[in-house]
Structure formats: C-alpha cells, structure tokens
Amino acid sequence: MYDPTIFDNLKVALENQLYDLDTLDEQIEIRNRRDVMDFAVLSRELALRFVLRSHSEVEAEVILRTGIRDLAGEIMEDPNTNPACSLVLRFYKKIAFPSHQCTKIEQALQEIWEEEIEITQKLSYVFGDEEAGLLNVIEVSFIPRLTEENMPDIANFLEHVLETLPIVMDI
C-alpha cells in the first residue's frame, strides 16, 4: 500500500487550510496554484498565491518544496537521512522608493518572523513602463525544515502570514 510522503501530508494540510481561508472564512482570495513534479531533478513543489480580500494590493505566495534526497531517503527508509520539506513565503509588492521601502520591509519581516529566516528582495520593472513602479518580490526562506511534526503549526503560520500582509502593504 502507498504511504504518503512528508511532502504529500504537508501539502494536503496546507492546501486545506488555505482553501478554508478562501471559501469558508472568506479572508483571502486564491489567485494561483501550482503543483509541480520536476522530472529533470526529481523534486516536488506546491505554490499557492493569494491576496487578502480587504487588501488586494500585495500578493502572498506560500511555497512548499522537497527534493530527491528527501524523497528517496524517506521512500527507501534510509536511517542516515532526515527527510523534510523547505518552506518559502513570497510577497509581491509595487514600490516607488526602493532604498527606503526595502530597508523598512526587511526590518518589519525580521521583527515579525522571529525564527531563523533568510530574506531576499528582487526588484524589476517593465522596460518602457518605468513610471508604473518597481515590482519587489520579497522572499522569506525559513531555515528550519518542516516534517509532519510541524502540521499543528500550519494554522499559526498562516495566521502570521495574514497579519504580515497589511504591514508589508503599508510600507
């Protein structure tokens, strides 16, 4: 009988809670969903992008990933591996004053997410349409990797994401 992987179990739990926030609680609107199996490197990724219904200016995306080492170690029941998944949180925000806003965003995220995180901000614009502003893709990578033991933490994590969205929007 097929035994679901850590990724499969976390994916279902994450999807269920996000779709409940969309359809039942009507707090968010899911705008995109990607469920990818990359056969070139044998990895899995789930990404759900959404906005707050009350503040749709900033999009958030929750990304769950795992690679071949984790999948193989778990499926083969290798005692020398510690299979887990990576969690990434992205925000998509238009900005006009990068040196000021990027600094403020990084400070706010460091205060909100007390865990070990890595923050990356990538700025871009469409050539010829510079006046529309810069798109800041803010990526928060969580250093601790997730296992099934983290399933009870998903609701609290998503609550923090929903609290973070308006803060990022106001910067």
Q: Residue 171 falls within a domain, yes or no?
A: yes
State the DSSP string of 41-93.
TTEEEEEEEEEESS-TTSEEEEEEEE-HHHHHHHHTT-TT----EEEEEEEEE
Question: Tell me: the pLDDT tens digits for 109-139?
Answer: 999 987 789 999 999 988 888 777 899 999 9
Q: Residue 126 falls within a domain, yes or no?
A: no
Q: Residue 72 falls within a domain, yes or no?
A: yes
Question: Tell me: the pLDDT tens digits for 89-102?
Answer: 999 999 999 999 99
d(CA 45, CA 7) in angstroms, rounded, equals 9
Question: Tell me: the pLDDT tens digits for 56-111?
Answer: 899 999 999 999 999 888 888 888 899 999 999 999 999 999 999 999 999 999 99
Residue 80 phi, psi dihedral angles, 5° rounding: -90, 5
Domain, as residue range, for 66: 1-92+149-171
Q: Residue 138 falls within a domain, yes or no?
A: no
* Continuous segment of H or E residues that includes residue 160: helix 154-170
Q: Residue 19 falls within a domain, yes or no?
A: yes
Q: Residue 103 falls within a domain, yes or no?
A: no
Q: How many CA atoms lie within 13 A of 112 on its CB side?
A: 23
Burial class (CB in 10 A: 0-12, 13-18, 19+), 84: buried
Q: Residue 131 falls within a domain, yes or no?
A: no
Give the predicted TM-score (pTM) of the model. Answer: 0.93
pLDDT at 151 over 50: yes
What is the tally of structural domains in the chain? 1
Q: Residue 124 falls within a domain, yes or no?
A: no
Question: Tell me: the pLDDT tens digits for 156-167?
Answer: 999 999 999 999
